[in-house]
A and B are shown apart, each in its own frame.
Chain A
Amino acid sequence: MNLVVYILKKDVMYDFLLDIKNKFETYVPIKKDITRFKILDNPKDIDFSENSYFPVKEHFFRKKEVIFQFNGSNFLPVELKSKNKIFFGLRRCDLNAIKNQDFIFMKQHNDPYYTSQRKKAVLIGYHCTKALNKYCFCESMNLTDYYDLMLFDKTNYFLVDAKTEKGENLIRKYKKYFKKSNYKISDKDTYIKTRKINKKDISKFYDHKDWDKGINLCLSCSACTEMCPTCYCHEIHDNTEINNPRNAKRIRSWSSCQLKEFTSVAENHTFRDTKEARFKHRIYHQLQYFKERNKINLCTGCGRCITGCPTKIDWVKIINEMR
């Protein structure tokens, strides 16, 4: 963490937001029926009482992405348009989820579509002061500091920590709103007590009978993967224009491992054909497979797969109760 932290008073924050709104497309959490990240209109709408129902991953890893266009003999360039965006009020779990996706799409693979969206975005975090709901479990997911700016809520004002040059530049540009402070951010500010997963390694529990508690309730509806801020599985399909079939597009879109089609091949063969295997695959990919490969947890413990599940399958509880 930086040696210098800044102070942003709460009433000044509204002016700051109105100011950056002119230069950036600013997304803030707004609570209507559910909390979502929406384009800022009135700063007074901002609501930090709960985490957004959906993560912001669709802004970077978009639901539908045109990989290339084709006119029958040549590839046409795809314009990678992106706007300067600011995401204000991201939680630590979501910032770490963005870190994991950055790792996949920018470090492991040089994915131009993701990079073009991601590199123009500024991430401003809002540090939780307590566990957001009874389902989140970020304490056991070893989260790290990954943000441009992070806001620590101190009732009347925010302490602002800048982690990257992007963040520093933003403060420098709008320095009239910020005051320097000698405060040192310590573990006291960053520690939040949540529930935990009591098992470090779940590999030997694969055939445990307790999984049935979750599997019996699972509807294979794929809500969990849709809401997950880290899930990145996708499929690629071709589209042609109906009145000009030579014009083709290859499109990458989200897909879900919870659906049977995920592993279906020609002649109607499905490799992962049982709900049991699909249910466990998601959890093992999040907690084990990705870690084995890349030494970091894919799951960040936001708990959306439980809050968003229509049957509220609390798989963390199921794992914790396994003996």
Chain B
Amino acid sequence: MKSELIPKKTRILSNFRETSDIFTLILQISGSYMPGQFVQIGIPGIGECPISVASYSKNHLKISIREVGKVTRALGKLRKNSFVYIRGPYGRGYPLVEFQGKCLILIGAGCGVATLKSIIEYIEYHREKYKDILLFFGYRNINDIIYKKEVNKWKNTFNIKIALSKENAKTCLDWDSGHITDVIAELKLRTENTGVFICGPPKMINDTVEILKKKGFNDEQIYVSTERLMYCSIGMCCHCMIRGKFTCTDGPVFRFDEIGYYKND
């Protein structure tokens, strides 16, 4: 009996704590995946959850998970060389091929930075194909910054802006204080030949898009990564439907006008 719903046993190569509640798992896999896609990771008996990929490689897969529920807490306790059960990768990722030869603006907040890390690794791999890259990361406070090491490295190669919303200005020497949306609002951004990829909580996405529209970006340039409750991830269970579109198979990355205006669906 073959079923698409049966997961594959996968070895954990390492489990690294990024912050008090976010950890990064490196999994041993073979096969390729694209930035923006996601995997269903779980432990039989506890459950499964969809997590987006945070790397770009052919022999391993990194995912960063925030401990919020039953499954994510259980995953956080796993150590090196233990096993998880994954399905995927699923979904449509960011249209990185379409945007070759153009500038990219990547905006992420909180755990959304994980998805952007995957894009950044992709760009580093194909650096000559893209022009200027602008990074905007928003966190709550210093202790919430994930990928500290990588961020320091990216500082040398990309234009990067970091904002901490719950930290006061005095402690923010290297960074801005306030929401990442405020930082973007104050900046002048070139709109032509530029794509904007956003990943973060729904409210942050809506605020950011509003600001970008005021700056002259149109819907075709803005891509957002969405999240919904998901069970099957193959377009069967219908939980992730947004106005007839499946987040799992048509998304999770949508061009903003495809779904963005539907705030209540």
A285 touches B241 (CB 8 A): yes
B237 touches A235 (CB 8 A): yes
A209 interfacial by beta-carbon distance below 8 Å = no
Chain A residue at minimal CB-CB distance from B250: A293
A70 vs B236: C-alpha distance when bound (angstroms) = 23
A112 vs B177: C-alpha distance when bound (angstroms) = 54
**Stretch from A21-29, A154-162, A271-279 that touches the partner:** A271-279
Contact of A112 with B264 at beta-carbon distance under 8 Å, contacts A248-B45, A262-B229 already known: no
B265 interfacial by beta-carbon distance below 8 Å = yes
Note all chain A residues with C-beta closer than 8 A to B232.
234, 236
A265 interfacial by beta-carbon distance below 8 Å = yes
Partner of A273 from B3, B4, B72, B264 at Cβ < 8 Å = B264
- Separation in Å of the A289 CB from the closest CB of chain B? 3
Partner of A67 from B3, B47, B68, B227 at Cβ < 8 Å = B3
B160 interfacial by beta-carbon distance below 8 Å = no
B45 touches A233 (CB 8 A): no
Contact of A293 with B264 at beta-carbon distance under 8 Å, contacts A238-B45, A240-B45 already known: no
A238 touches B46 (CB 8 A): yes
Chain A residue at minimal CB-CB distance from B232: A236
Residue tally, chain B, CB below 8 Å to A: 31
Q: Within B30-83, which residues are at the interface with A (CB < 8 Å)? A: 42, 44-48, 68-69, 72
B237 touches A112 (CB 8 A): no
Mask for B222-245, Cβ within 8 A of A = 1, else 0? 000001110110111111010110
Note all chain A residues with C-beta closer than 8 A to B173.
none
A281 touches B45 (CB 8 A): no
B241 touches A289 (CB 8 A): yes
A252 vs B236: C-alpha distance when bound (angstroms) = 12
Helix, strand, loop or mixed for chain A's interface? mixed
Mask for B86-123, Cβ within 8 A of A = 1, else 0? 00000000000000000000000000000000000000
A233 touches B239 (CB 8 A): yes
Contact of A266 with B69 at beta-carbon distance under 8 Å, contacts A233-B239, A235-B231, A289-B244 already known: yes
Note all chain A residues with C-beta closer than 8 A to B229.
262-265, 271
Most A CB atoms within 10 A — which of B2, B48, B232, B239?
B239
Note all chain B residues with C-beta closer than 8 A to A288.
244
Note all chain A residues with C-beta closer than 8 A to B239.
233, 235, 255, 262-263
B187 interfacial by beta-carbon distance below 8 Å = no
Note all chain A residues with C-beta closer than 8 A to B231.
234-236
Contact of A271 with B265 at beta-carbon distance under 8 Å, contacts A75-B6, A77-B1 already known: yes
A144 interfacial by beta-carbon distance below 8 Å = no
A58 interfacial by beta-carbon distance below 8 Å = no
Note all chain A residues with C-beta closer than 8 A to B228.
263, 265, 271
Contact of A267 with B68 at beta-carbon distance under 8 Å, contacts A78-B1, A285-B241 already known: yes
B2 touches A110 (CB 8 A): yes
Q: Within A227-285, which residues are at the interface with B (CB < 8 Å)? A: 232-240, 245-248, 250, 252, 255, 257, 262-267, 271-274, 276-277, 281, 284-285
- Separation in Å of the A206 CB from the closest CB of chain B? 9
> 30 A–B contact pairs at CB < 8 A?
A68-B6, A70-B45, A77-B1, A110-B2, A110-B4, A111-B236, A112-B1, A232-B238, A233-B238, A234-B231, A235-B231, A237-B47, A238-B42, A247-B45, A248-B44, A248-B46, A250-B5, A252-B5, A255-B237, A263-B228, A271-B229, A271-B265, A273-B264, A274-B264, A277-B265, A281-B265, A284-B243, A288-B244, A289-B243, A293-B244
Q: A105-B236, A252-B5, A272-B264 are known; give 14 further A-B pairs, CB within 8 A.
A: A68-B5, A75-B44, A112-B1, A112-B2, A235-B237, A236-B5, A237-B47, A238-B47, A245-B45, A257-B238, A262-B229, A265-B227, A271-B228, A290-B244
